[in-house]
Amino acid sequence: MACVTLKNINKSFGKIQVIHEFSLDIADGEFVVFVGPSGCGKTTLLRMVAGLEDITKGEMYIDGQLVNNIEPKDRRIAMVFQNYALYPHLSVRKNIEFGLKMRRFPKKEIQEKVLWVSQLLKIENLLDRKPKELSGGQRQRVAMGRAIAREPKVFLFDEPLSNLDADLRVTIRTQIAKLHNDLKITTIYVTHDQTEAMTLAHRLVIINEGIIQQVGSPMEVYHNPVNQFVAGFVGTPQMNFISMAPSFQDTTIHFKRRDFSFSLSSERYERLRVYENRAIIVGIRPEFIKIYPQNERYPIQLSATIEVKELLGHETLYSISIGEEKKLFTRSFPFEDYPVGDVIPVSFQEDRLLFFDKETQKRIYI
């Protein structure tokens, strides 16, 4: 196990810089998940940690040791990819043994390690099969077993579940969580999948265009995003964003759009005064728009039309329009049923409203 420190890491391919001043301290035993849109630099970062990609500028430390010039094989890092990368002509047992033999482990120790990982991952009965005789989920478990057998200091996962069907993703995801709980190997995990990111991470690192946007626990990032990018990236369906101009009148603040508005007591919104009569972005998550008349908790009452309804079983998602605002999302409990075309009362939970500067996209803290 080891801590990993990335200090002002920059990476360029030719003249194009893809990672900018990336600094992050990953604690010993921590599970960190990198998320961000395609091309934001997640894989490049993993490859630099593994030593497969040069660092253009900056310093990388593993366990306090500067590793910029240390060979991948000497970094004690294991990487698991989405395409497993097993040797097709070798049995599962030989695949797991391979790295250990290369490192000249004694025969007895190799046997013990194979037994240990195969029990850990429940692949004892697959040891004599070839990779082509395995299902996708089994192959992924073998790939993990091979990585674990080497007792790495750091585990790197690059979208390890993206080739698996939905059921298997859940099963292996749970196994990865359990494995981490048991072994506590420092882990960096890259994914596009929101559920994987939210369920596995101790901390999420949200990246856009090679720049860290926010680092925090899943709950922190979900409820307390620092900018509009993070707010919009984390959560499905996305947070609703409405461009509105605040104005103050006596003890009231009015939020206006062309064809609808709402008002609140102005006491807590003093910070918005500098934005008076300028458009700002008001953000609210779907679960904080409720389909029912206002009450104390949900004081903002508006009238919405149901445009699209998606029954998911455990919940129903609605795309609604309020005036010219065509695509806002809300969700309801399974047995509340509102037909498409209905006009319904919706209420916003005031203490869940977030505000963003329209130009800088930064959060306006009130």
Name the residues that contact ligand ATP, by CB under 6 A.
13, 18, 36, 38-44
Distance in Å, CB of 157 to ligand ATP, minimum: 12
Distance in Å, CB of 13 to ligand ATP, minimum: 3
Whose Cβ is closer to ligand ATP: residue 8's or residue 65's? 8
> How far is the CA of 93 from the CAs of 11, 122, 155, 197, 358, in angstroms?
38, 13, 21, 31, 57
Whose Cβ is closer to ligand ATP: residue 37's or residue 334's? 37
Whose Cβ is closer to ligand ATP: residue 35's or residue 282's? 35
Longest dimension (CA), the chain: 82
Which tokens hold the place of 70?
């240390």
Expressed in angstroms, the distance from the first to the final Cα of the chain is 41
Distance in Å, CB of 55 to ligand ATP, minimum: 13
Paired sense of beta strands 316-322 and 300-311, if any = antiparallel
Which tokens hold the place of 113?
């390690």
Distance in Å, CB of 20 to ligand ATP, minimum: 12
> How far is the CA of 2 from the CAs of 111, 225, 279, in angstroms?
26, 29, 47
- Cis peptide upstream of residue 237 (ω within 30 degrees of 0): yes
Whose Cβ is closer to ligand ATP: residue 22's or residue 31's? 22
- Cis peptide upstream of residue 345 (ω within 30 degrees of 0): no
SS3 state at 171: helix
Distance in Å, CB of 192 to ligand ATP, minimum: 6
Distance CA 336, CA 5 (A): 49
Distance in Å, CB of 34 to ligand ATP, minimum: 8
Whose Cβ is closer to ligand ATP: residue 200's or residue 354's? 200
Distance in Å, CB of 236 to ligand ATP, minimum: 17
Distance CA 69, CA 127 (A): 37
Q: Give the residue carrying structure tokens 């310093």.
A: 59
> How far is the CA of 200 from the CAs of 82, 203, 218, 318, in angstroms?
17, 9, 9, 28
Distance in Å, CB of 166 to ligand ATP, minimum: 20
Show the CA angle centred on residue 163, arms to residues 162 and 164, nearest 5°: 95
DSSP string, 88-147: TTS-HHHHHHHHHHHTT--HHHHHHHHHHHHHHTT-GGGTTS-GGGS-HHHHHHHHHHHH
Which uninterrupted H or E stretch holds 11?
strand 4-13
Whose Cβ is closer to ligand ATP: residue 41's or residue 160's? 41
Considering only CA atoms, which of 35, 47, 95 is closest in space to residue 75?
Answer: 47
Whose Cβ is closer to ligand ATP: residue 38's or residue 249's? 38
Distance in Å, CB of 158 to ligand ATP, minimum: 8
Paired sense of beta strands 31-35 and 203-208, if any = parallel
Distance in Å, CB of 207 to ligand ATP, minimum: 7
Whose Cβ is closer to ligand ATP: residue 80's or residue 117's? 80
